[in-house]
């Protein structure tokens, strides 16, 4: 079986990959040894290793999953890769994940071949109603409702960057639930499988009404400012200045605020991707912040900051930082260290 994931929306693509891995493990007694990863980094990619992992039979003909993070820079092996995956056995689940934001790959021989497969999942950036529905559902997963004005406010500040939106939604829901705890006549009751429900007793001691913890525009105004972006921008600026101490302090600000480590990693990765896009576009000509924001799907504030930041980086530097962030991501998936420790080691190497 071949499964193809592609598109620039890394958050939803990674969550789909996690879902595929979870379902595979559920069907195979939770044996994680049956899952292997193949890096698409040209410095690490080995065609013989790829062939062995994809085509070798497992013990007792057990099923196995191979996850291949394909990068455009290994196109020299394209035809060989096609011939190998054509021979894949029915016991093997091969997941190919292409993160490159380049339509050139989809028009290549390998891209055309993968697009013909039965299981193809496209992850392009969300906008309009699709983005609104995603935010609403995400808030629900965190145990909260969210009104339309609050969604509009979030989109106005964060654009369509799902990593940053997800990071802030987790904080906003925690904040909304804390408001209930602070009220004498209000409590939250929920099991592990249920969303937290606010139950407000009436004056006679009965239950007056039930409603879910809710995020309002006022909550967003109180909690969600440009502080998140500013901390990420400070981190990137410190990297450009080769000031590792300031870079780590900027990250610590987010950690102390209670932001989940993986979400911080995603927010930083998202901004580095934005800088790579910005730098690539600027090499073809000048851009106004409004036009750039619309082109790459970010808030004009983020576009303005990105235009200033890219002046301090070469494109290769940004790509190197992004590759190291992906390496941290892979290490976390392999459970070879905590996200925070791996992140700090990455900063030390830059």
| CA dist., res. 281 & res. 315, Å (int) | 11
pLDDT score, position 184: 44
Residue 222, classed as helix, strand or coil, is helix
Phi/psi at 286 (5° precision): -75, 150
pTM of the model: 0.62
| CA dist., res. 14 & res. 325, Å (int) | 14
The highest-level CATH class for domain 227-349 is mainly alpha
pLDDT score, position 185: 41
Strand runs (DSSP E) across the chain, as ranges? 2-6, 35-38, 64-70, 92-98, 119-122, 145-146, 187-189, 197-201, 207-212, 214-215
In sequence order, the β-bridge partners of residue 199 are: 187, 210
Contacts of 156 (CB under 8 A, 6+ apart): 299
| Whether the domain at 2-122 and the domain at 227-349 fall into the same CATH topology | no
From the list 101, 32, 29, the residue with the least C-alpha distance to 336 is 32
Sign for the CA dihedral angle at 150, 153, 157, 162 comes to: positive
The span from the first CA to the last CA of the chain, in angstroms, equals: 39
CA-CA-CA-CA torsion for 322, 323, 324, 328, nearest 10 degrees? 100
pLDDT score, position 138: 93
In sequence order, the β-bridge partners of residue 93 are: 65
Tens digit of pLDDT at every position of the chain (350 positions): 999 999 888 889 989 999 999 998 888 877 777 788 887 776 778 888 889 888 886 555 578 899 988 776 666 788 898 999 999 988 899 999 887 666 778 888 888 999 999 999 999 889 889 999 999 999 998 888 899 999 998 888 777 888 888 888 888 888 777 765 555 444 443 433 344 444 444 444 444 444 567 888 888 877 765 555 677 778 888 887 878 888 888 877 777 766 667 777 777 888 888 899 899 888 888 888 888 887 887 777 778 888 888 888 888 889 888 888 888 877 776 766 677 788 788 888 77
pLDDT score, position 293: 81
User: C-alpha angle 37/47/326, rounded to 5°?
Assistant: 35
Residue 300 in tokens? 């004009």
Residue 315 in tokens? 């494109």
pLDDT score, position 284: 83
User: What are the angstrom distances between the C-alpha of 221 and each of 210, 215, 226, 303?
Assistant: 25, 11, 10, 21
| Extents of the domains making up the chain | 2-122, 128-223, 227-349
Residue 327 in tokens? 């390496």
- 2-122 is a CATH 2.30.140.10 domain: no
């Amino acid at each position: 079986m071949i499964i193809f994931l592609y598109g620039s929306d890394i958050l939803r693509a990674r969550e789909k990959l996690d879902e595929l891995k979870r379902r595979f493990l559920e069907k195979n007694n939770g044996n994680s040894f049956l899952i292997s990863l193949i890096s698409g980094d040209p410095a690490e990619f080995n065609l013989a290793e790829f062939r062995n992992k994809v085509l070798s039979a497992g013990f007792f003909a057990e099923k196995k999953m191979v996850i291949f993070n394909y990068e455009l820079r290994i196109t020299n092996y394209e035809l060989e890769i096609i011939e190998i995956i054509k021979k894949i056995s029915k016991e093997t689940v091969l997941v190919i994940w292409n993160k490159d934001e380049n339509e050139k790959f989809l028009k290549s021989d390998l891209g055309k071949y993968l697009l013909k497969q039965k299981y193809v999942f496209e992850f392009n950036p969300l906008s309009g109603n699709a983005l609104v529905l995603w935010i609403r559902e995400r808030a629900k997963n965190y145990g909260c409702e969210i009104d339309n004005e609050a969604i509009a406010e979030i989109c106005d500040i964060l654009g369509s960057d799902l990593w940053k939106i997800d990071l802030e939604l987790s904080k906003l829901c925690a904040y909304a639930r804390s408001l209930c705890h602070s009220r004498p006549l209000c409590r939250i009751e929920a099991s592990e499988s249920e969303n937290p429900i606010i139950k407000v007793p009436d004056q006679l001691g009965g239950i007056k009404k039930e409603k879910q913890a809710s995020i309002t525009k006022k909550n967003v105004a109180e909690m969600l400012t440009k502080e998140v972006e500013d901390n990420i921008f400070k981190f990137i600026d410190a990297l450009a200045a080769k000031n590792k101490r300031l870079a780590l302090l900027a990250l610590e600000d987010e950690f102390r605020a209670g932001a989940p480590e993986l979400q911080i990693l995603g927010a930083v990765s998202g901004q580095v991707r934005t800088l790579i896009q910005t730098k690539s576009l600027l090499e073809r000509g000048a851009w106004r912040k409004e036009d750039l924001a619309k082109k790459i799907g970010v808030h004009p504030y983020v576009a303005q900051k990105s235009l200033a930041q890219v002046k301090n980086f070469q494109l290769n530097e940004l790509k190197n930082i992004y590759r190291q962030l992906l390496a941290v991501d892979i290490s976390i998936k392999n459970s070879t260290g905590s996200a925070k420790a791996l992140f700090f080691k990455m900063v030390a190497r830059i």
